[in-house]
Chain A
Amino acid sequence: MIEVRNIDKSFGSLEVLKQVSLTIRDEETLAIIGRSGSGKSVLMKHLMGLITPDRGEVIVDGVDINAVSYGELRQLRRKFGMLFQGGALFDSMSVFDNLAFPLRTFSDLAEEEIRARVEENLKEVQLEGVEDKNPAELSGGMKKRVALARAIALTPQYIIYDEPTSGLDPETSNTINDLISSLSTRSNVTSIVVTHDMHSVLAIADRAAFIHDCDIHWVGTIEEMHAADDPTLNAFVRASEYQIGAPGRTASPYDAN
């Protein structure tokens, strides 16, 4: 379980998070939604101590991650897999080495086993034959999928996906959503998905948290979201709903409402 308690975060004079509290339950899939620039990525980085809050605590499985030693923090981070919004692939390494890197560093697998694992991981994200390419040679969507494969390589307990489907075509998006869903049904996997894409939220999430005005403005289950009478949340969802109804998108439960 991850508990975010009353965190504040500013960059210079820019306040990004104010008194944010959020509980992420074990084995759930939580969607984080909100407008661009509302602080979703910043909040995600707080969850694994990549950013320290100005005030407040982040508790992961009972441990205050900003109060423990760096060594302990590193141990804790091994429970996480994170897909960064920009991919964050190591551009000095080939795709294969990017995926093999966590395995080589943190597991005792032999090189052949690593090769098999990497190929399997790439197949899961529908990429094949790109092992020897450099990240710079990949398209944006391919980078994202390689980064996703790297994030889940060590089968982490907490998986954070920062906009896993942005920049992907609808069909590939569906595959990625299916992959996230199937990973999230494994035992002891908690997924946190940052997304703009309401279609993803409906397809994969148990609950959603809506960030607005430096705060978690609304949090609840997907059913509760349908019924919510919060004007700001409704406006955000309706704006996305319009996109869902657009050509090339699959129908959503909203279309029936």
Chain B
Amino acid sequence: MLERRILAPIEALGQYVLLLTKAFQSLSEVRVYRKNLFKQMVAIGIESIPIVALAGLFSGAVLTVQTAYQLESPFIPQSIIGSIVVPSMVLELGAVVTGFILAGRVGARIAAELGTMRVTEQIDALEAMGLNSIGYLIVPRVLAGVFMFPVLYITATGVGIGGGLGVAHYGDFLSAGEFVAGARQFFSPFDPIFGLLKAFVFGFIITSVACYKGYYTGGGAEGVGRSTTEAAVLSCVYILFANLALAVLIL
């Protein structure tokens, strides 16, 4: 029993790595996947823009109001609010908020889609035709994830900073000019690169974990439900770990 507990996750990791290896070995058949890639980029990327923008907007606005509240003192220049809000969005919130929202929206969707295809034998049907089902289904989804997450990150961060600026200005915390000046004062060009890297990694984690869970779904509608939940929960957990690991390793 204990042995199973220890071995099962290692086995799962092995299966996951093997699945991705098989998927990317078939990258050469890109002609077959191209149309699918475009479809996935729309489904994963474009269709996520509204929710990600909304989440970014509110994060930026709330962060600004709360920072202003915490720093309410005559001895601190109010522009410091801009110096805190903007790097926080760029370094942390833009990527993490995008990641969490998309773990639910994209991760669950991919796992449910592939899980249903598995239990209704659609994956068998692809294989039966002589297609590489792993390549055909997984490559476009993971590629769409790593291409589109940075775009979504930029959206969330941009809108978030805009939201912070708007609240600062119209909520009478500090003027837009001060906000921007504060942001510029401590701006480091490495910050957005780090944020993009995070988004890239999160995009990979969410889509690949969801593909893995979905592709190996067993046991009917209940199995699909289980895979879907696990995909969303596990990708959130892995995002938390990856976030810490990236910060420790790179910053």
Contacts and interface: CB of A to CB of B under 8 A. Distances in A.
A106 interface: yes
Contacts of A109: none
Interface size class on chain A is 20 to 34
A225 B106 CA distance: 55
Interface string A45-62: 100101000000000000
Given A84-B121, A88-B121, A88-B122, A75 B128 contact: no
Interface size class on chain B is 10 to 19
Given A86-B121, A90-B122, A91-B122, A74 B128 contact: no
A91 B224 CA distance: 15
Nearest to A150: B125
B125 A105 contact: no
Interface in B96-117: 113, 116-117
Interface string A89-106: 111100000000110011
B130 A91 contact: no
B131 A84 contact: no
A102 B136 CA distance: 13
A92 B122 CA distance: 10
A74 B136 CA distance: 13
A210 B23 CA distance: 39
B246 to A, nearest CB: 34
A102 B113 CA distance: 21
A70 B117 CA distance: 21
Select the residue from B116, B122, B129 with max chain A CB neighbours within 10 A. Answer: B129
Given A50-B127, A74-B132, A105-B129, A91 B121 contact: no
A86 B120 contact: yes
A82 B128 contact: yes
Interface in B123-172: 124-125, 127-132
Contacts of B113: 92
Contacts of A50: 124, 127-128
A191 to B, nearest CB: 16
Contacts of B125: 82, 84, 88-90
Contacts of A91: 116, 120, 122
Contacts of A84: 121, 124-125, 128
A77 B128 contact: yes
A11 to B, nearest CB: 10
Given A84-B125, A88-B125, A90-B125, A77 B120 contact: no
Interface string A70-87: 100011011010101110
A80 B128 contact: yes
B32 interface: yes
Contacts of B124: 45, 50, 84, 88
A74 B122 CA distance: 16
A112 B122 CA distance: 26
Query: Considering the complex of A and B, which 6 residue pairs feature the smallest CB-CB distances, nearest first?
Result: A88-B125, A88-B121, A78-B130, A77-B130, A74-B130, A82-B128
Interface of B: 32, 113, 116-117, 120-122, 124-125, 127-132
Given A88-B125, A105-B129, 19 more contacts: A48-B128, A50-B127, A74-B131, A75-B130, A77-B127, A77-B128, A77-B130, A82-B128, A84-B124, A84-B125, A86-B120, A86-B121, A88-B120, A88-B121, A88-B122, A89-B125, A92-B113, A105-B32, A105-B131
11 contacts: A50-B124, A50-B128, A75-B130, A78-B130, A82-B125, A84-B124, A84-B128, A88-B122, A88-B124, A102-B129, A105-B32
